[in-house]
Structure 1
Amino acid sequence: MRELVFALEYEPGCNAVADALAEHPDARVRSLSLHATAERLWRVDHATGTPDALDAIADAFRDGDYYADCLATDDCGATQTTRVLDRTDDTLVLYSDWERTPACASVPHIARDHLGDGVLFETRHEGRHYTWRLIHSGDGDVPAFFDALETAVGECARTEMLRSTDTTAAAGGSEGDRNGLSPEQEAALQAAVEHGYYESPRGIDVGELAAHLGVPRSTLTYRLRRAEEHLAKRYVADARVTADRPAPR
């Protein structure tokens, strides 16, 4: 089995959920379940944020011109419904069901075409970045998948490859993967260290660092956050392994 992780960075006005999250930077949406057949797609999503952010996210899912997961740039004529399954002051659980038309395209359907059946999907949406984690058999055509994906998103989103590896390597890591960071994440982290971003007080702020690297501020923030999250989780996992290892006799 293979793990494929990538992100779509949406331009303003191209994805209603991305626009809502960009207005509420502390809000997040992650999928709890996501399934697709040739004709349909249904999913359950868990959102966190302020009451205003959750209202905006719910409206984006329910009242957009077309379904939020569709990559078509215009109304594709799909039939979709979204229902609120649970709501508290800071969490929201949404169920969505989408019946596609020939004009529709989506990540899961493109994956079915090029990676085969049985692909597992996990998503995380924050700001304008929509991260997808796919587990697939490894028998499909990954370059063809990305070509089709980039054609479908057009100028609405930029695609960034984060990781493509065997699932056993993804779980345990390897010395050859530079701690599991994508080249973009590694470059962002290295520049942040070299320019004093992690010093106290900071030698540079994130806006200045983004300008130096020639990337949008939101993109740099996203890459640093993902790199920090990955390294922190790996550190904790390694510490647990060390603690569980029997002491030498």
Structure 2
Amino acid sequence: MRELAFALEYEPGCNRVADTLAEHPDARIRSLSLHATAESLWRVDHATGTPDALDAIEDAVLDSDYYADCLATDECGATQCTEILDRTDDTLVIYSRWNRTPACSSVPHIARDHLGDGVLFETRHEGRHYTWRVLHSGEGDVAAFFDEIEVAVGDTARMEMLRTAETSTGASDIDDSTGGLSPEQAAALRAAVEHGYYESPRDVDVGELADHLDVPRSTLTYRLRRAEERLAKQYVAEMLTERPSTTL
């Protein structure tokens, strides 16, 4: 199996859910299940956040102009069904089914076209960043897959490659010297250290660092968060591996 991970960073006004999450930066949406056939797509998602954030997310996904994962930039004539399966003070479980038309496109359908059947998907939506993790057999045309996604999103979003690896061996196309980070994440982390972002008190804030790197503040925040998450998990995994076993 081969793993592909990438993120789509949506421009303001181009994705209703992304706009809503950007207004509520502490809210998150992650996929619990995602399946696609040639004609349709259905998924279950788990959202977390404040009650106000969940209200806004619910409004966004239940609005008539929302189609689960459709990348069409114009009205595509698709039909969909969206239901709230569960709601608490800080969580929301959402079911969506989308029946596509010839004008529709989506990441799962593009993956089916270029990577074959049996592809698995995992998603996470934070702010304007929509992160995809795709597992496939290793066959197919990966370059054509990414080329078609870029064409489909057009000017609505920018794509950032995060990781490509063989899941069976852990080998990665990303340089091991970066600790498994994407080049963009490694550069963000390096700049943060060099400019005193991690000093106490900080020498620069995230806005100043973003200006220095000439990237949007939300993009830098996302890259640092993902880099910190990956390094923290890597550290804990190594610590647990090195812990001596105890016998009774």
- TM above 0.5: yes
Does the 8 A contact of 1:83 with 1:94 survive in 2? yes
Does the 8 A contact of 1:111 with 1:145 survive in 2? yes
Does the 8 A contact of 1:105 with 1:152 survive in 2? yes
1:128 to 1:89, Cα distance in 2 relative to 1, 3 A: same
Structure-2 separation of matches of 1:120 and 1:153? 21
Shift of 1:111: 0.5
Query: 1:143 matched to which residue of 2?
Result: 143
Does the 8 A contact of 1:123 with 1:131 survive in 2? yes
Structure-1 separation of matches of 2:98 and 2:244? 46
Query: 2:56 matched to which residue of 1?
Result: 56
Q: What fraction of aligned residue pairs are identical, expressed as a percent?
A: 76
Query: 2:185 matched to which residue of 1?
Result: 185
Does the 8 A contact of 2:51 with 2:89 survive in 1? yes
Shift of 1:246: 7.6
Shift of 1:167: 0.6
Shift of 1:224: 0.0
Shift of 1:172: 10
Query: 1:154 matched to which residue of 2?
Result: 154
Query: 1:106 matched to which residue of 2?
Result: 106
Does the 8 A contact of 2:163 with 2:174 survive in 1? no
Structure 1 stretches of 4+ with a deviation exceeding 6 A read: 171-175
The AA in structure 2 aligned to 1:103 is A
1:46 to 1:131, Cα distance in 2 relative to 1, 3 A: same
SS in 1 for 2:30: strand
Q: Which runs of 5+ in 2 are unaligned?
A: none
Query: 1:96 matched to which residue of 2?
Result: 96
Query: 1:24 matched to which residue of 2?
Result: 24
Between Structure 1 and Structure 2, which shows a larger proportion of helix residues?
A: 1
Q: Which runs of 5+ in 1 are unaligned?
A: none
Does the 8 A contact of 2:7 with 2:159 survive in 1? yes
CA RMSD after TM alignment: 1.9
Structure-2 separation of matches of 1:97 and 1:174? 35
Residue 194 (structure 2) pairs with residue 197 (structure 1): no
TM-score norm. by structure 1 comes to: 0.95
1:58 to 1:170, Cα distance in 2 relative to 1, 3 A: farther
CA-to-aligned-CA distance 1:60-101 (integer Å, 9 cap, x gap): 111041404100011211111111111000000001011100
The AA in structure 2 aligned to 1:184 is E
1:117 to 1:244, Cα distance in 2 relative to 1, 3 A: farther
Deviating more after overlay: 173-182 vs 74-83: 173-182
1:19 to 1:175, Cα distance in 2 relative to 1, 3 A: closer
SS in 2 for 1:168: coil
* Residue correspondence of structure 1 range 6-85 to structure 2 within 5 A: 6-85=6-85
1:35 to 1:171, Cα distance in 2 relative to 1, 3 A: farther
Deviating more after overlay: 206-215 vs 174-183: 174-183
SS in 2 for 1:201: coil
Name the count of aligned residue pairs: 247
CA-to-aligned-CA distance 1:111-155 (integer Å, 9 cap, x gap): 100111100000000000000000001111111001100000000
1:192 to 1:98, Cα distance in 2 relative to 1, 3 A: same
Does the 8 A contact of 2:163 with 2:173 survive in 1? no
SS in 2 for 1:149: helix
SS in 1 for 2:73: coil
Structure-2 separation of matches of 1:80 and 1:244? 53
